[in-house]
């Protein structure tokens, strides 16, 4: 019996045809699962492995290599907030912005707020250097973040 629903299974099967090797679909498959479930359940790892004709250990190894995949024990919150730590952002105050976020949310990067509203992450570069310091909110960049406007950003995400 499969854990993954038919929609995700079909999307993974479609991806298999787009890559030269089944194993290359591991990352996109993990993303599909995490986007749907807010984590990658152990049962999903087994299903992905079966679809890709690799061992569950290979899928798990790939997942654990990258810090952005979450397990059932530590699922993503409703919102994902990435703080850029690139040189451009650091020079324009991202470290202070991150400190303010940690203080207000009472979580550290990699953790989710107790109410499940926000998962805080750090990124090496978001790619919006001209708007430094910046954050990424659910895949949407937000530029020129300051100590003043970060409170409003967090309040909106907590709703």
What are the pLDDT digits (tens) for 90-146? 999 999 999 999 999 999 999 999 999 999 999 999 999 999 999 999 999 999 999
| Each residue's pLDDT tens digit, 54-64 | 999 999 999 99
Q: Report yes or no: 105 and 97 within 8 Å, Cβ to Cβ.
A: no
The answer for residues whose C-beta is within 8 angstroms of residue 112's C-beta and 6 or more apart is: 74, 75, 76, 77, 118, 119, 120
What domains can be seen in the chain, in order of their start residue? 6-65 (1.10.10), 79-158 (3.40.30.10)
d(CA 94, CA 88): 9
What mean pLDDT do residues 65-92 have? 93
What mean pLDDT do residues 34-60 have? 97
Assign 1 a pLDDT band (cuts: 50, 70, 90): low
> Does 7 score more than 70 pLDDT?
yes
Q: Report yes or no: 58 and 48 within 8 Å, Cβ to Cβ.
A: no
Beta-carbon count within 10 A of 133 CB: 28
Q: Report yes or no: 51 and 26 within 8 Å, Cβ to Cβ.
A: no
Task: Say whether the peptide bond before residue 133 is cis (omega within 30 degrees of 0).
Answer: yes
């Amino acid at each position: 019996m499969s854990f993954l629903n038919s929609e995700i299974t079909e999307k993974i099967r479609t991806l298999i045809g787009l890559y030269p090797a089944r194993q290359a679909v591991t990352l996109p498959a993990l993303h599909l699962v995490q986007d749907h479930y807010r984590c990658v359940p152990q049962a999903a790892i087994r299903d992905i492995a079966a679809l890709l004709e690799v061992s569950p250990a290979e899928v798990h190894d790939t997942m654990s290599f990258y810090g952005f995949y979450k397990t059932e024990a530590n699922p993503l919150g409703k919102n994902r907030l990435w703080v850029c730590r690139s040189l451009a952002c650091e020079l324009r105050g991202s470290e202070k912005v991150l400190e303010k976020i940690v203080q207000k949310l009472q979580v550290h990067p990699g953790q989710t707020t107790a109410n499940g509203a926000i998962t805080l992450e750090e990124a090496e570069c978001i790619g919006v250097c001209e708007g430094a310091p910046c954050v990424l909110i659910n895949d949407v960049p937000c530029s020129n973040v300051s100590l003043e406007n970060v409170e409003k950003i967090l309040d909106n995400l907590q709703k």
